[in-house]
Structure 1
């Protein structure tokens, strides 16, 4: 008599893309944006249906945001490095 609980697949995709956005340079920015979109889509679907996975969606959102911020810092670091090297 166990319930058949379904986990929202978009929340799993969101978490996966969020983790990949942290570890893959330059492409991680795009993966982070897609991860945020998937996280929002998952939370809206979970409000309408009886699926679980809200924690996965929130974790995916946080990882995607961290990945985007890291990618911005990496790009700014490269720009600053090359400007400094060219100035010297």
Structure 2
């Protein structure tokens, strides 16, 4: 038997770790790193599938990153709308 041993892509591992950190300790920075390294990991795995594995890890990192970024954008929008509305109400009197 001539079985080749594939290693897990380092980018995929960094993507998952950054995605988790993006939800806990480093909210926006971790999510951005998760998205970037997730795409890099998937590209690396697609280019050399005989050497690398871990596509699922890269996808998990991408999902965590994109959802974290979307929630951050929604939070900023809610903050601006809320305090912008309060400022507008205050200027009416």
Q: TM-score, normalised by structure 1?
A: 0.79
Aligned pairs, how many?
86
Unaligned runs of 5+ in 2: none
Q: Which has the larger radius of gyration?
A: 2
- TM-superposed CA distance for 1:52, in Å, is 1.1
User: 4+ runs of 1 displaced by more than 6 Å?
Assistant: none
- Which residue is equivalent to 1:6? 7
Flag the structure with higher strand content.
Answer: 2
Q: Counterparts of 2:79 and 2:33 in 1: how far apart (Å)?
A: 24
| Aligned equivalents of 1:79, 1:48: Cα separation in 2 | 43
- 5+ residue gaps, structure 1: none
| TM-score, length-scaled by structure 2 | 0.75
CA RMSD of aligned residues (A): 2.2
